[in-house]
Amino acid sequence: MQVENRRDFLKKTVQMTGAGMMVSSGFFSQRVAMSADNLAEVGTVLPKWENGEMDIHFIFTGVGESAFHIYPDGTTMLLDAGDRNTDAYAKNVRVLPDKSRRAGEWIARYIERVHPNPDSKVIDYMMLSHYHDDHGGGRNGYAGKAEGRGDYLLSGLSHVAEFWKFNVGYDRGYPDDSRPVPVTDPETYQNFRKFTQWKEQQGELRMEEFEVGKLDQIHLQYQPEKYDFHVRNLCRNGVVWTGKEGENVDFFEKYPHNKKAINENSLSLGLLYSYGPFRFFTAGDYSGRLTDNDGNNLLFERFAGKAAGRVDVCKANHHSYKDAMIPEFVQEVQARVYAINVWDRLHTQDNTMTNMSSQELYPGERLICTGQMEPEEQEEFKNCPWMKNVGIATGHMVVRVFDGGRKYKVYFLTAQDESMKITAVYGPFNSYLAENS
């Protein structure tokens, strides 16, 4: 493929996505390039999941964070489904595909297109990482009320449940929502709890306590003996696994004075996936600046990273906002790919992007995937060195892991419509442990 034709093709592809990307050749020269083989996939529809693959779908709506996971045997999990009212917030990115439906319905429809068994109308696991509306829905963005059946608002996860049945559910508070302190941001919590209690009463959901440090509380449902797949529970409510079996650290018990300034984000649930040599880290909005009695920074975020160790793909903490992705955490996980769930233009921050790109923290190539970067932010950051690590497309992001966890690819899909058409592809990448064991 000739250079000039390739550049024209990229320009046309980006314009078709409606993502607002700048199309100057100078801007593209700073972005991660696709190979000729990957370019051939652009414009085609994402191939269906197959047995033995693990898919991580970061679903873009523009109003919150949501991820749908498909494990190698077809077990499924919906991790978060945010919904919020964006009309009064000037810094919100564009809502996609449009505002004709609430986010919960768009998410449910997306799942219909990728679920291994859509006719079942069942999602094996549901998880709310923490009680914020951009992760679980709330009172400001909803599609109605479940009148006479719990009277909860249809927002986020409770709205998705209008279309899909959840078998097992987790959230950071169940069963004791007073720990480490009573919930400080009640709207999402109260609605979510009304929803889960009603579903439990009807025998349509089983809530379980999330046990920090436990291996395979979340596990394959259909062919567990066939695949080398494991889930480690890393953190919850300020309790963090140390990396040693049966050993956790409770930051809010060890440093009691920190209870006076608890942030809901720091209480997020966190997970480490292992599929053969492949590793994936995700922990909601896990972040926070906690200090000891002498005022020393405890580097709280680092501890979950240390427990996880080096990973291939890292879901950026707190949307990569400026209070997260500290150098000490990035140095622990050393990811090849970072995925950022964006709904706020301020989620793109120079300090966090610099940390994720830093060759001083650890060597090697990076791919930073942002759900959306509006033209104003593109212009603001176009000369930043880290821009060379940012993918050239926006929208839905899919990590597909295959070959027993030895390889993975990253797909961008248009969020302008429901066509599932590919706008960019990166990889295949070799899992770090596959190359270095």
- Cis geometry, peptide bond prior to residue 175 (ω within 30 degrees of 0): yes
pLDDT tens digits, residue range 301-336? 999 999 999 999 999 999 999 999 999 999 999 999
Q: What is the pTM of this model?
A: 0.94
**CB of 252 closer than 8 Å to CB of 285:** no
Choice among 78-82, 254-258, 368-372 with the minimum mean pLDDT:
254-258
Longest C-alpha distance within the chain, in Å? 63
Q: What residues form DSSP beta bridges with 370? A: 340
Q: How far is CA 128 from CA 76, 227, 285, 418, in A?
A: 15, 26, 11, 25
Instruction: Report which of residues 184 and 388 the model is more confident about.
Output: 388
Q: What is the end-to-end Cα distance of the chain in Å, rounded?
A: 36
pLDDT tens for each residue of 197-224: 999 999 999 999 999 999 999 999 999 9
88 pLDDT more than 70: yes
Alpha-carbon distance 64 to 134, whole Å? 4
Average model confidence (pLDDT) for the chain? 92
Is the confidence at residue 259, as pLDDT, over 60? Answer: yes
Pick the CATH number of 3-435 from 3.60.15.10, 2.60.40.10, 3.40.710.10, 3.30.830.10: 3.60.15.10
Indicate whether 419 pLDDT > 70.
yes
122-128 and 76-81 beta bridge pairing: parallel
